Amino acid sequence: MPDDLLIRDRNERLAAEALVVDVGGYEGPLDVLLTLSRTQKVDLRRISMVELADQYLCFVDLAKELRIELAADYLVMAAWLAFLKSRLLLPPDPTEDGPSGEELAAHLAYQLERLEAMRNAAAKLMARDRLGRDFLARGQTEDVTMKRRIVYDASLVELLRAYAGVKTREDFQPLHYQRDAIYTMEQALERMKGLIGAVLDWSDLEEYLPEAWRLDPKKRRSALASTFAASLEMVKAGTVDMRQAETFGRIELRARA
Amino acid sequence: MSTETLFEAPPMAEQERMVEAILFASSEPLDTRALTARLPHGCDVAQALALLQKRYAGRGVHLLRSGDDWAFRTAADLSFLMQKEVVETRKLSRAAIETLAIVAYHQPVTRAEIEEIRGVSVSRGTVDLLMELDWIRLGRRRQTPGRPVTFTTTPGFLAHFGLETPRDLPDLKELRAAGLLDNRPPPGTSVEREVDDDHDQDDMFE
Amino acid sequence: MSTETLFEAPPMAEQERMVEAILFASSEPLDTRALTARLPHGCDVAQALALLQKRYAGRGVHLLRSGDDWAFRTAADLSFLMQKEVVETRKLSRAAIETLAIVAYHQPVTRAEIEEIRGVSVSRGTVDLLMELDWIRLGRRRQTPGRPVTFTTTPGFLAHFGLETPRDLPDLKELRAAGLLDNRPPPGTSVEREVDDDHDQDDMFE
């Protein structure tokens, strides 16, 4: 019995020693546990958790002796395994809540089994025939050339609307400049009042048209009409005399003395 | 015997497969020497190529030889599949459609006249686009100082807009009746001018 | 009648040639939708693909399907001839390989779940590398507190490893049967999440 224990202890130390030497090569405590579990040479579901816990604790102790820095999670795992081991060995305490030692151990076994399964799957995946290594894509590709053709479209309605738009813009303008061609009677009256006082002889009505309104026929027509109307107004007021010798003859006026 | 067997060439069908795979994956055409170097000893590349070329005859992909170089290429009659034509329909810009409308109603019309009517200058690009679309073209030169070129519409313009002659374009009165004059002229604007326009237009088409 | 004739699909033999030409020209896999878009109206892409796959069976070049994507690839048994063409891919770290496998078998899977399975934290670089290789991508968020993102594999992953669907992953059935793809929570934690996870996973592989 003690011999047996001794041998086991020695095996554990050897296994642990191998791990400690290459601790940087391990991907965390679970990885180390998976490696250690293989020394038990049993199905992961039948693994002795107490033994695994001992192996791991031995590994941590050895690392300490050799003054190898272990990351915090290795120590957390050590503490947890020590706790698990005590739970597994001591009779269950009815006052304590939470999962039993067996449940915890079963889950750890499951985790190890799952990690190992994933590793095997990964290896099989990577061993598959792979694109770019075992089977190749077309080397000389002919890419689709994109030809962009732009079609301009316009309907007759748009064309007509555009023309209507241009024409309508024009239509807004006359409102202002058409007024320029109108010489109002007020303007004519104002002008006549200033001029007539000095003219005592008969003179032609047309001579009273403002300079700027004589040439353009439209403007001349407006100015003539207004000046004539203004003259009639002044006759009515008694300030001016007016005469016309014949039909369509010259219209003359003079200031009433 | 045993050493000979070691170097025995694979069956021709296998050689053909090999040449097929190598040419497929190669990023450039390969000559028979390069192919021979890639194949197991004793292969008859020329025969494999001949068989392969026959196999692909009439397929969507052909084995083509140029000089001593061999490569797979898409069959020439299917090259249209390698081009994707994207047709993009665009609306004419406001400047373009207005310019086109003015040419249509006032032809033959000079650039200066278009600018006077639109109230803004006409860019070269606008005129070029309309010419490119074959909707307007150069007419005869105006017999006035500087002999400016005039623009007229084309048969293509008539065809696109479904007109028989430019005279089919409705006049302003008809446009208004059709509700196309969105911007109603302010009340009080005389109808006289409109008549004037009609008159002008007649001149243009005479 | 005349318009119908205009849109009549080409004969199947011709459709097969067309699909052949298009797939041959492309280095990237194309799905049936992309193929349909490139072919004349009324083509039966699925049938053309089936015929083509049969035609190339046993050739030096095969028509491979992965997911809904189709591509011509050299036959894997001729890989020894291809060494010249092979661009040596970066050696993947063990962490990257395992992470990829976990995503492939457990998808959609959160980062926390990957870490639980591997027993170590997953570095940002590992995930980035796998995303860069276009082998994994972000899936939809898990409807659990914190709404963590999940990872799934891509069509590129299937194409690279020559898988038609994620169901073709090696040993998938055996692993499922052994319960090794369950997301079994540590004892003492709520079971709620498990139900959700199983549901998601079923979606992925169904």
Residue range C189-199: mean pLDDT, rounded? 49
Q: What is the pLDDT of residue A162?
A: 84
Residues 120-179 on A with a CB inside 8 Å of C are 120-122, 124-126, 128-139, 141-144
Which of A99, A121, A133 faces C101 most closely, judged by CB atoms? Answer: A121
Give B97: exposed, middle or buried? Use CB within 10 Å, 0-12, 13-18, 19+: buried
Residue C108 and residue C153: Cα distance in Å, rounded? 8
Q: What is the mean pLDDT of residues A189-207?
A: 82
Q: Say what the pLDDT of residue B3 is.
A: 41
Residue C200, pLDDT above cutoff 60: no
Q: Flag if C78 and B17 touch (Cβ within 8 Å).
A: yes
> What sign results for the dihedral spanned by CA atoms A83, A85, A90, A94?
positive
pLDDT at B180: 67
pLDDT on residue B181: 64
Least trusted range by pLDDT, from A40-44, A171-175, A177-181, A246-250: A171-175
Residues of C in contact with A28 (CB under 8 A): 118-120
Find the CB nearest C25 among B19, B27, B82. B82
Range with lowest mean pLDDT among A244-253, C87-96, C184-193: C184-193
| Cβ contacts from A onto B, under 8 A | 134
Over residues C26-53, mean pLDDT: 91
| Three-state secondary structure string covering chain B | CHHHHHCCCCCHHHHHHHHHHHHHHCCCCEEHHHHHHHCCCCCCHHHHHHHHHHHHCCCCEEEEEECCEEEEEECHHHHHHHEEEEEEEEECCHHHHHHHHHHHHHCCEEHHHHHHHHCCCCCHHHHHHHHHCCCEEECCCCCCCCCCCEEEECHHHHHHHCCCCHHHCCCHHHHHHCCCCCCCCCCCCCCHHHHHHHHHHHHHHC
Q: Poorest-confidence range of A64-78, A158-172, B91-105? A: A158-172
The shortest CB-CB distance from A124 to any of C24, C102, C170 is to C170
- The one-letter amino acid at A76: V
Contacts of B19 in chain C (CB under 8 A): 60
A105-134 average pLDDT score: 90
Contacts of C188 (CB under 8 A, 6+ apart): A98, A99, A103
**Among the listed ranges A189-203, C70-84, C97-111, C150-164, which one has the minimum average pLDDT value?**
A189-203
Q: Assess whether pLDDT exceeds 80 at residue A146.
A: no
Site from B15, B16, B20 to mutate, C interface, most C CB atoms within 10 angstroms: B20
Q: Which of B28, B119, B189 sits opposite A169 (nearest CB)?
A: B119
Residues 85-144 of C with CB under 8 A from B: 85
Mean pLDDT across C120-149: 90
Residue A180, pLDDT score = 65
Nearest CA of chain A to the CA of B1: how many Å?
32
Token couple for B186: 């302010």
Closest Cα of chain A to B26: distance in Å?
5
At C4 the pLDDT is: 44
Please give the Cα distance from A162 to A159 (Å, whole number). Answer: 5
Residue C110, pLDDT > 90, answer yes
Minimal C-alpha gap between C88 and chain A (Å)? 8
- The pLDDT of residue C135 is 93
Mean pLDDT for chain C?
84
State the pLDDT at residue C85: 55
Confidence of residue C83 (pLDDT cuts 50, 70, 90): low
CB proximity A67 to B under 8 Å: no
pLDDT of residue A40: 81
Which residue among A137, A148, A167 places its CB closest to the CB of B172?
A167
Q: What is the pLDDT of residue A240?
A: 87
Beta bridge partners of residue A7, listed in sequence order: none
Sorting pLDDT into bands at 50, 70 and 90, what band is C87? low
Rounded Cα–Cα distance for residues A71 and A84 (Å): 20
Domains and CATH numbers, chain A: 11-122 (no CATH), 185-255 (1.10.10.580)
C59 touches chain B (CB under 8 A): yes
ipTM (interface pTM): 0.58
pLDDT-derived band at A171 (thresholds 50, 70, 90) equals low
Q: By three-state DSSP, how is residue C206 classified?
A: coil
The letter for the amino acid at A251 is I
- Element holding C69 (H helix, E strand): strand C69-74
Confidence of residue A100 (pLDDT cuts 50, 70, 90): confident
B145: tokens are 């100082």
End-to-end CA distance of chain B: 103
Average pLDDT over residues C40-62: 94
A chain contacts of residue C75, beta-carbon cutoff 8 Å: 135
* For the ranges A139-153, A203-217, B123-137, the one whose mean pLDDT is highest: B123-137
Q: Is the pLDDT of residue C17 over 70?
A: yes
- Region A156-183 average pLDDT: 69
pLDDT tens for chain B, 206 residues long, are 334 445 678 999 999 999 999 999 988 889 999 999 989 988 999 999 999 999 999 999 999 888 888 999 888 888 888 877 677 778 888 899 999 999 998 889 999 889 888 888 888 889 999 999 889 999 889 888 888 999 999 888 888 888 888 888 887 777 777 776 654 444 444 443 333 333 333 334 43
At B32 the pLDDT is 92
Q: Which chains touch C (3 or more CB pairs under 8 A)?
A: A, B
**Mean pLDDT lowest among A6-15, A44-53, A121-130, B143-152:** A6-15
Neighboring chain C residues of A138 at a CB cutoff of 8 Å: 24-27, 72
The full DSSP string for A114-133 is: HHHHHHHHHHHHHTS--BTT
Residue of B nearest to C25 (CA): B74
